[in-house]
Structure 1
Amino acid sequence: MFYQVESLIGEYCEGCFVHQQLKKEGGKRRAHRFCITQCTIGEKLREYGKKLI
């Protein structure tokens, strides 16, 4: 399970253009909120998180 999370983050999140752009325009908080609530990869990470609890 941890490998899958690390793989997703490494492949899609690190260097994400959308995150970088939102961070420039609206700050770190706005970019983070997008990742948590709207990004499809963020949804998948939340699913993995629920399984870990």
Structure 2
Amino acid sequence: MRKQLFQELEQLMKHYCDGCFLHKHIKNNHGRRKAHRFCISECTVGEKIKGYGNKLS
């Protein structure tokens, strides 16, 4: 079960997060910390990633 969750999570991040324009734009204009906060709290993909994290813990 955990292995499958990790695989799904990795695919999700590869597909949506690698090279994300919004993350790159926010990072360049407002800094790395603000970009990270955006990904965690406002991005729909970030919410899905948090859901996977809750299932794993």
The bucket for the TM-score relative to the shorter chain is over 0.9
1:5 offset after TM fit, Å? 0.5
Q: Tell me the equivalent position of 1:29.
A: 33
Q: Within 2, Cα distance between the matches of 1:47 and 1:23? A: 24
Question: Mind listing any 5+ residue stretches in structure 1 that lack a counterpart?
Answer: none
Q: How does 1:1-53 map to 2 (within 5 A)?
A: 1-53=5-57
Deviation digits for residues 14-41 of structure 1 (CA, Å, limit 9, x no counterpart): 0000000000000000000000000000
State the identity %. Answer: 51
Stretches of structure 2 that go unaligned for 5 or more consecutive residues are none
CA RMSD, Structure 1 to Structure 2 (Å): 0.3
Detail structure 1 runs of 4+ shifted over 6 Å in the superposition.
Answer: none
User: Which residue type is aligned with residue 14 of structure 1?
Assistant: D
